[in-house]
Structure 1
């Protein structure tokens, strides 16, 4: 499997970030793993990492929590769409949530994102993301 250049985890829960980081590290998923505690930090990381001329520094995959303080997942997506095209790179954005409230599900389905998954992130869910969006599989 070819590693993704960069993955960005965005979640306000440090334990969730730690567990997701461990999972992705164990799977050998990415060359570089960035972590943000809210949407505002995530936008800053994207601006900082995508400022270089190398698109490899931009996140290929963004795993985004919905409910966060400071800037939630929906507000992040609004801010993300305001970024320059080069900073948006061809990023695959997957929203992760514990909320399966019909209103939230309906709102997420209307967004311009690659997918919506219920937490927790698992090896099987990561494998599904890789197959669907990167035509790759995890080594067994």
Structure 2
């Protein structure tokens, strides 16, 4: 499995972030993990670090569905409007605490690799990486 340039974790649940970050570090799949707590923060981060300098364009985005300020679907809407980004280079995985059929159907509108229930495990992350060959 090749190393990722970077991973962006977008989730307002601090415990979930801690667990996911620990798993990613233990798997040694990237040197760079950045965490934001809502979609608006993530877009700001992407504009500053990906569009402006290209120092942190994530290969993988782990995106929570339900967050304050800007939820996962609102983030996706704005993310795909950012035409300067090379969207095809980024794999997006939607995260949730429950499998809501309506959310799953909504996620299909976007280029989302898959929809996973939290908490993530090493196996679920490994499956995403092998499925997408990233």
Q: TM > 0.5 between the two?
A: yes
Q: Helix, strand or coil for the counterpart of 2:68?
A: coil
Distance in 2 of aligned mates of 1:85 and 1:133: 23
State the superposition RMSD in angstroms. Answer: 1.6
Q: Give the unaligned 5+ runs of structure 2.
A: none
Alignment match, 2:20: 20
Alignment size in residue pairs: 133
Indicate whether 1:90 and 2:111 are aligned. no
Alignment match, 1:10: 10
Give 1:105-124 correspondences, 5 Å limit.
105-124=104-123
TM (normalized to structure 2)? 0.91
Q: Give the unaligned 5+ runs of structure 1.
A: 136-140
Give 1:59-74 correspondences, 5 Å limit.
59-74=58-73
String of CA shifts for 1:79-106, please: whole Å, max 9, x gaps. Answer: 1011133364610000011121222222
TM (normalized to structure 1)? 0.87
Contact 1:4 1:60 in 2 (8 A): yes
Contact 1:46 1:87 in 2 (8 A): no
